[in-house]
Amino acid sequence: MNYPTGLSQRVTKNLMAVRILLVDDHPIVRQGLRTLLEGRSGWEVVGEASDGLEALEKIESLNPDVVVLDVTMPRMNGLEACRMIQQKRKSSGLEVLFVTQHDSPQMMREALDAGARGYVVKSNAARDLLEAVEAVSEHRVFTALARSPQAAN
């Protein structure tokens, strides 16, 4: 990527706009995620969805860069939604970051196999979320289970 002359890479990164769709069946969790994300200059929560089906509809209308996705949801769970999103990702660069209760290497593996770029657990979301969104918005993998140190590539 080319950065404007005279600006450091860090300053430019912080100004890069990221459009984020929040998907979780608990409105109170979505509110908590929003308060974290909206503190970051240039990032915008463009919409919310309460299940995987609604997420797919909102992706079409809102065109986010990153989908922050829960796993366990009614109607369509996050893993199924992520697989469906993959078809869209190839043309638009859309990335999926899971934020979930499931602190499980097996579930994380499933999420990454489904096409997610990131996976963090809700118990550490306040610590990991911003770095995770930054990483996946730049198409880098970010995973962090509560039981092991974070890993970002």
Partner 1 sequence: MKLRILLADDHEIVRRGLCALLQKHEGWEVCGEASDGREALEMAKQLKPDVVIVDIGMPYLNGLDTTRQLLQHDPHFKVIVLTITDSDQVIREALDAGARGFVLKSDAARDLVSAVEALQSKRMFFTPRVNDLVLAGFLDKGHAISRNEPPNLPTLTVREREVTQLLAEGKSSKEVASLLNLSTKTVETHRSNIMRKLSLHSIRDLVVYAIKNNIIQIQMPPQIQRPTETTVA
- Of 12 and 123, the one with the shorter C-beta distance to partner 1 is 123
Cα 130 to Cα 7, 40, 51, distances in angstroms: 22, 8, 22
- Of 36 and 141, the one with the shorter C-beta distance to partner 1 is 36
At its nearest, how many Å lie between partner 1 and the CB of residue 12?
Answer: 28
In the block, residue with structure tokens 């950065």 = 3
Using CB under 8 A as the criterion, which residues of the chain lie in contact with partner 1 when the complex forms?
A: 25-36, 71-72, 77-79, 83, 86-87, 99, 101-102, 104, 106-107, 110, 113, 122-123, 125-126, 129
In the block, residue with structure tokens 């769970």 = 77
DSSP for 16-34, written as a single string: --EEEEEE-S-HHHHHHHH
- Of 16 and 80, the one with the shorter C-beta distance to partner 1 is 80
